[in-house]
Amino acid sequence: MATSFYMNLSTKIILVLVFYILGISSMGLVSYEDLRTTEEKVEFLELAYDLHNIILEVRRYEKNFLLYNKNEAFRENKRCLAQAKETGKALLARVDKYRVAPMLREFDGQIIAYEATMDQLSQQERLHTVDYARIEERLRDQGKQMADLSMELVDFERNQIHVILLVLKRQLVSWASLAVLIGIILSLLITYYIFKPLFMIKRATVDIANGRFNKIEVINTRDEMQQVMEAFNAMVFELERRQDQLVQSEKLSSIGTLTAGVAHQLNNPLNNISTSCQIAMDELAAGDQQFIMRMLHNINHETLRARDVVKGLLEFSRVKEFTLRPSQLSAVVKRAVQLAKSQVSADIDIVLAVPEDLVFPMDAQRLQEVFINLIINATQSIEGSGQIIITAVPDKSTGEVRIEVCDTGQGIPEAIQGQLFDPFYTTKEEGKGTGLGLSVAYGIIQKHHGNITVQSSPGKF
């Protein structure tokens, strides 16, 4: 049995932050170690420079001793040699484990050899003997070797510092690039797994506010965001179901309103049918077949009239799923007018200006409900005689159709126009309206990816 592993969003964020902090800390530790090494190298270089300067002092006193054979120069030479030994030991204690250690040990041996030669030379009584010249030559060579080795030591450490600084520069660029890359990756992950779902939910919420119940694509984040998106889709499904129930409730309310009018519409053809039957039966004995046939045609015509009225009411009341199919707009409008006609006063004219060839995808039944609601609302706003005009104009550039339902009613105050499409809002007296008609019409138009607005000024057509 397969199981799904879910990790809380807070846990994910904490883990990401922990790994990021650990990464930055590791970078910092490595850089700190390099900086500490550089600091040691700088201190060592300072001592190496001191050692080199001491050796130069040794050579200077060596030169004075060889030129003037003064004991003072010999003593200063010995003092500087002792100082050089101490400095060399201090350097060796610092870098005993590094590659420069053999150089320092060699340097220490050179100091000892140089000091022995200096002592030997100081014991020679005659300055111009062969032995004196040989020892002097050896002393000069040893002094030169000490100076060269001390300079080599300085150069070696200086180069080491340059190498470390170069490494630090590269590390800085590498760490900075890695940090930027990690930041970009984290930003993309946060955008994909957090901000994108939130944006989708926000956009879907706006759609719901506009009457469009669109589900969102569930991103497999395996955390609370996925659960929120799944819950949101469940909410959308429930809202859509409730909206359908609301539409059906309003439809039943409209059917109740239309029933009395439909009964009146049926009464005329039924009276004509009854009258024609009576006349036909009276004339049957006379045998006037042509007259009886005319009566039968009249009965058939009135029967079709009654059937159309009942068929229109049945079609309107039937529950169907929302489906967009190419339909003729004029036919939909005419059926709506026929059903709503019983609610329209005889003093009110309904004028249709809808092209017969205007066909576009629509849910004919629901669009018919929109027109019925609008016609009834227009009728109720007209006192006495008036006019209702329904027009439709196609816009070929946008592929849309502009439909207008105008009336000569009292008009709607601007202060309440923004509330007209709110559910259960009505300006009618209590018990004379549910406040759902225009709200349902709004939802149906939104489902057709259209917009419905109101423009009205009291006292103006």
The CATH number that applies at residue 100 is 1.20.120
Question: Is the same domain home to 276 and 327?
Answer: no
Question: Is the same domain home to 341 and 422?
Answer: yes
What pLDDT, on the 0 to 100 scale, is given for residue 292? 74
Contact 335, 311 (CB under 8 A): no
Question: Is the same domain home to 348 and 312?
Answer: no
Q: For residue 442, what are the CA distances in angstroms to 247, 275, 323, 370, 376?
A: 11, 45, 17, 8, 15
Question: Is the same domain home to 97 and 185?
Answer: yes
What pLDDT, on the 0 to 100 scale, is given for residue 53? 92
CA atoms within 13 A on the CB side of 214: 17
Whether the full predicted model's pTM is greater than 0.85, yes or no, is no
Q: Decide if 213 is inside a domain.
A: no
- What is the total count of domains within the chain? 3
Average pLDDT of each block of 10 consecutive residues along the chain (461 residues)? 57 76 79 80 85 90 85 88 88 71 85 88 70 85 89 86 84 82 80 77 75 72 73 79 66 58 62 75 71 76 69 59 85 83 79 89 84 83 85 84 86 69 59 60 80 75 51
Question: Is the same domain home to 273 and 336?
Answer: no
Question: Is the same domain home to 286 and 428?
Answer: no
Look at residue 392 and give its three-state secondary structure: strand
The CATH number that applies at residue 342 is 3.30.565.10
Q: How far apart are CA 420 and CA 435, in angstroms?
A: 9
Q: Decide if 384 is inside a domain.
A: yes
Helix (H) or strand (E) holding 109: helix 101-122
Q: By residue range, what is the domain housing residue 153?
A: 9-196
Question: Is the same domain home to 334 and 452?
Answer: yes
Q: How far apart are CA 315 and CA 264, in angstroms?
A: 19
Question: Is the same domain home to 388 and 275?
Answer: no
